[in-house]
A and B are shown apart, each in its own frame.
Chain A
Amino acid sequence: MQTKRTIFPNKFLPYALLAPQLAVTLVFFIWPAAQAVKSSFEREDPFGFRTTFIWFENYTRLFSEPGYLNSLTKTGIFAVSVTLLSMSLSLLLAVAVNRVIKSNRAYTTLLVWPYAVAPVVVGILWWFMFNPTIGIAPYLLRGLGISWNHRVDGNQAMILVVIAASWKQISYNFLFFVAGLQSVPQSLNEAAAIDGAGPFKRFWTIVFPLLSPTTFFLLIVNINYAMFDTFGLIDATTNGGPNQATNILVYKVYADGFLGLNIGSSAAQSVVLMLIVIALTAIQFRFIERRVQY
C-alpha cells in the first residue's frame, strides 16, 4: 500500500492541525479513563463526604463476588453467541447475494438497513416483538407449545438479547464479507470446478480460507461489539434481568455505579473492561501488521 507523505515547512503547523482531535481525545477519553483508574483505588462513603485510598481492595472484592463472576460468564456466553450467530448468518447472506448477479445491489441495500438503527431502537423493536403480553413471537411460539416469558426465564432473556444484538450486527459483517468474497478471483473458483470440487467443497477449501483475513478482523470487531456496544440494547430490553441473567459486564458497570452508587467497584470494573479492550486491540493490530497469512 502506498502512503502519501506530506512535508510541512512549518514545525508547529502539524501540531496545530492535530490539536483539535487530540483535545477531544484528551478531554473525553484519556481524562475520564484516568479518573476511572484513580477511583478504582478509592472508596467513597455513601454521602460523598470522604474518599479513602484503599489500594486493590475494590479489585479483590470484585473477583470474589459471585455476582461479578456470574456477569463474566454471562458476558462470555453472550459475546460468543452473538459473534457466531451474526457472523455465520451474514456469511450465508453474503454468499447468497454474491451468487445473484442482477439484483445484488438491491439486496445489499436492504441488508445494510439494520445498521442505521440505533441500539436502543433495536432493543425496543425486539422487546415489542417478544413481549410476553402483546408480542407476536410469543403468540406464534405458543402455537408450537413453547411458553415464552423472558421476564421470568433467564435463558429466554439471553436468547432474546443475543438475537437482537446479532440482528443489528449482521449488516456490518455482511458488507465486509461481500467485499471479501468479491476479492476472491473468479478464476480460482473455475479452476477448482475443473479440478473436480463441488460448490460446497469449493467454498470450504478455496473461498473460506481466502476470506480468513476478513473473518479474523470481523471476529475481533464482533467480540468488541458484543461486549461494549450492546449497553443500550440490554437497557431497553431486559435491564440485565431477570435475576442477573443478562447482566453483562458493561451493563453491570452502569448498574453498580449509577444505580447502586458504588463508584469504587464500578470504576474497578471499568478498568477491567478497558484492559480487555486493550488486549483485543493489540491482538488485532499484531495480526493486521503481519497481514494475510496464506
Chain B
Amino acid sequence: MATIDLIDLKKNYGNVPAVKGVNLKVADGELIVLVGPSGCGKSTLLRMVAGLETVTSGRLEIGGRDVVKAEPAERDIAMVFQNYALYPHMSVRGNLEYGLKNRGTPRAEIDRRVQEAADILEIGPLLDRKPRQLSGGQRQRVAMGRAIVREPAAFLFDEPLSNLDAKLRVQMRVEIRKLQRRLKTTSLYVTHDQLEAMTLADRLVVMNAGLVEQIGTPTEVYDHPATLFVAGFIGSPPMNLIDVASLSNRRGLDGLPAGTDIIGIRPDVLFLTPQEGISLSMQGTVELLEPIGGESHLHVRLDSSGQSVVLSVPGRPNIAEGSAVTLHARVADIHPFNAQTGRRTDTAVANL
C-alpha cells in the first residue's frame, strides 16, 4: 500500500533525452496505465520507478520515501516483465519462493503465501513444473504470482500481455483488473495497446516523445483529448482530424472558439443522414466499405481536400464503392484544435 510520486523526472541517454520531465502522482491502490507509441519513454519511465534505470534528474518517491538512489530490491516493488522473465531452471514453486527466500522470510510464511497465490491464480497443479512446460497464459500467471507473493507496495507491469494471442490477452486483461481490484495494490502498467489502456486504467497517462500529453480517466481522455496527439492516438478507428481551411462549406463552424484551425470528429459521430441542430456537412466519395461484424467502417474521400475520413455505421449498409455521399456531423460533437500549439481551443484540460 503506497503512493508513487514522480516529480519532474528526467532521463537522458548520453545527449538523447528519453524522458523529458514527467510529473505524476499515483494514489494508493490506483491502477495507472502509461500508454503511448513505441519509443515514447513509457517503458523507460517504468524501469526508472523499478530502479533498473538510473534517474538523470528529478525526484521519485514510493510511499513518501525518496528512492532515487535505492536499489531495486529496496523499493518494495514487484515487476511483471514482457517476456515474463521466469527463472527457467527453477520450478514454478522455486520461482515464486525465490524473492521471499532472498529476504529471509520464514518457511511457514513462504508456504502460506505461495499457497495463497497459487489459489488466487489457479496455478496449484503447476507448482512442480518447469516454466518451459507451461503455456504462454500459464507463464503469465506464474509471473503474476511471483509479484503477488511478495506482497509489495506497488506492482509494475511492463507490457505483460503483448506476448499472448488476442483471445488470451482479453481474458488475462480482465483477470489483471479483477486481481488489482481485489488486492488494492498501487500499480503502474505500461502498454502500447490503447484498448488495453482504456479498459484497465483508473487513470490514463498518454505519453509522446518523452512527455506526458494528458493524464485523466479513460472517459475524460476519450471525451476531451487535450492534444492533437491524444485525439489521434486514443480511439479505434482513430478520430478524423480535418483542416478547417480545406473545407469548402464551413457553415456551422462559426460557433467554434477563436484559433481553431483543425477539427476532430470521431468516426461514430459522423453520419450519412442530416442531423438535428447546427451541423456540418461534407461531400465525399466512398472508397472502401469494411464490414467488421455488428458495424462497418466506411472510408470516404472528401471532395474538397482529397483527405480520407472514416465513419462507423451500424450493420452492413448497401453502399457501392465509388458512390457519392454527404457526411453530417453535429457541431456539439466536434473537437476544436489549434495546429500551432497542438492543443484544444475550447476548454483547457486539467493535467494532474
Contacts and interface: CB of A to CB of B under 8 A. Distances in A.
Contacts of A188: 85, 87
A294 B87 CA distance: 10
Interface stretch (A33-41, A139-147, A193-201): A193-201
B134 to A, nearest CB: 14
Which one of B78, B79, B87 has the highest number of Cβ atoms from chain A below 10 Å of its Cβ? Answer: B87
B89 to A, nearest CB: 3
A194 B78 contact: yes
A280 interface: no
Nearest to B75: A194
Contacts of A193: 51-52, 71-73
A191 B102 contact: no
B257 interface: no
Contact of A191 (B79, B89, B103, B130): B79
Which one of B82, B88, B150 has the highest number of Cβ atoms from chain A below 10 Å of its Cβ? Answer: B88
Contacts of B52: 190, 193-194
What class of interface size applies to chain B in its complex with A? 20 to 34
A91 to B, nearest CB: 17
Contact of A206 (B81, B87, B146, B150): B87
B4 interface: no
A256 B52 CA distance: 62
A196 B73 contact: yes
A187 B83 contact: yes
Given A196-B102, A197-B73, A294-B130, A191 B88 contact: no
Contacts of A195: 73, 98-99, 102, 146, 150
Contact of B85 (A185, A198, A210): A185
Contacts of A187: 81-83, 85
A212 B88 CA distance: 12
Given A192-B98, A201-B102, A294-B130, A210 B77 contact: no
A194 B50 contact: yes
A260 interface: no
A209 B89 contact: yes
A197 B79 CA distance: 14
Contacts of B79: 190-191, 194
Contacts of A294: 88-89, 130
A205 B94 CA distance: 11
What class of interface size applies to chain A in its complex with B? 10 to 19
A210 B81 contact: no
Interface in A198-246: 198, 201, 205-206, 209-210, 212
A255 B62 CA distance: 73
Nearest to A212: B89
A217 B78 CA distance: 36
A192 B52 CA distance: 11
A14 B6 CA distance: 68
Contacts of B102: 195-197, 201
A194 to B, nearest CB: 5
A120 to B, nearest CB: 42
A91 B99 CA distance: 26
Interface in A163-194: 185, 187-188, 190-194
Interface in B57-115: 71-73, 77-79, 81-83, 85, 87-89, 98-99, 102-103
B146 to A, nearest CB: 8
Contact of B81 (A190, A205, A209): A190
Interface in B290-340: none
B77 A196 contact: no
B50 A210 contact: no
A188 B146 CA distance: 13
B188 to A, nearest CB: 13
A55 B135 CA distance: 61
A205 B98 CA distance: 10
Interface string A276-294: 0000000000000000001
B260 to A, nearest CB: 46
Which one of A187, A195, A201 has the highest number of Cβ atoms from chain B below 10 Å of its Cβ? Answer: A195
Contacts of A198: 73
Nearest to A209: B89
B103 A196 contact: yes
A101 to B, nearest CB: 12
A151 to B, nearest CB: 48
A254 B330 CA distance: 99
Nearest to A201: B102
A206 B146 CA distance: 16
Nearest to B156: A194
Nearest to B99: A195
Contacts of B78: 194
8 contacts: A192-B87, A193-B51, A193-B52, A194-B78, A195-B98, A195-B146, A206-B87, A210-B89
Interface of B: 50-52, 71-73, 77-79, 81-83, 85, 87-89, 98-99, 102-103, 130, 146, 150
Given A190-B52, A196-B99, A196-B102, 20 more contacts: A185-B85, A187-B81, A187-B85, A188-B87, A190-B50, A190-B85, A191-B79, A193-B52, A194-B77, A195-B98, A195-B99, A195-B102, A197-B73, A197-B98, A197-B102, A201-B102, A205-B98, A210-B88, A210-B89, A294-B130
